[in-house]
Amino acid sequence: MFNALEVLASGMAAARMRVNTLASNIANAETTKTPEGGPYRRRDVVQVAKDIPGSFSSALDRMTMKKPSIAAVTVDQSEPRKVFQPGHPDADPQGFVAYPNINVVTTMADLMSASRLYQANVTAIETARSMQNEAGRILTQA
């Protein structure tokens, strides 16, 4: 019981992290100046599947379930997109302004998919709960 919920809760946490990162990318798609200098750089999450912890779990549990987890958030190191905008406060001497390498349309699509994934995890938690409720009724309402 706890393992399934733990795995699904990790799924929710990972999906939420993904949503936050994608939202930050969309919000900063046109940000040309950051405290670190230069334009905003795209963030990507690195998600891995971990074995569930040994205490409270059987070998069969560990074979059946893996726990998603965000291992790292990477910062895009690619060359920024250069747009010719002479007179822009952040323009270089040649008149080019560096913009983040972010495609708002694909990021938006990823965002929608991540939020659907979050909902899928919530649905699975609700399902596990109704299963447990039904099992509990054997005791209380037989």
- Which of 99, 95, 94 has the alpha carbon at shortest distance from 82? 99
- Residue nearer to other proteins on the CB measure, 47 or 85: 47
Q: By CB under 8 A, how many residues form the interface with other proteins?
A: 37
Binding segment toward other proteins, per CB under 8 A, in 27-35, 78-86, 98-106, 128-136 = 128-136
**Dist CA 3 CA 17 (whole Å):** 21
Binding mask 98-117 for other proteins (x = CB under 8 A): ---------------xx--x
d(CA 85, CA 50): 47
Place of tokens 């990790």: 10
**Contacts by 16-20 with C-beta closer than 8 Å and gap 24+?**
16/118, 17/45, 17/70, 17/73, 18/45, 18/47, 18/70, 18/110, 18/114, 18/117, 19/111, 19/114, 19/115, 19/118
Interface with other proteins by CB under 8 A: which range of 26-34, 82-90, 92-100, 129-137? 129-137
Using CB under 8 A, pick the residue from 21, 25, 40, 67 that binds other proteins: 67
The answer to whether 55 contacts other proteins (rule: CB under 8 A) is no
- Residues in contact with other proteins by CB under 8 A are 3-4, 7-8, 10-11, 14-15, 18, 47-49, 60-61, 63-68, 113-114, 117, 120-121, 123-124, 127-128, 130-131, 134-135, 137-138, 141-142
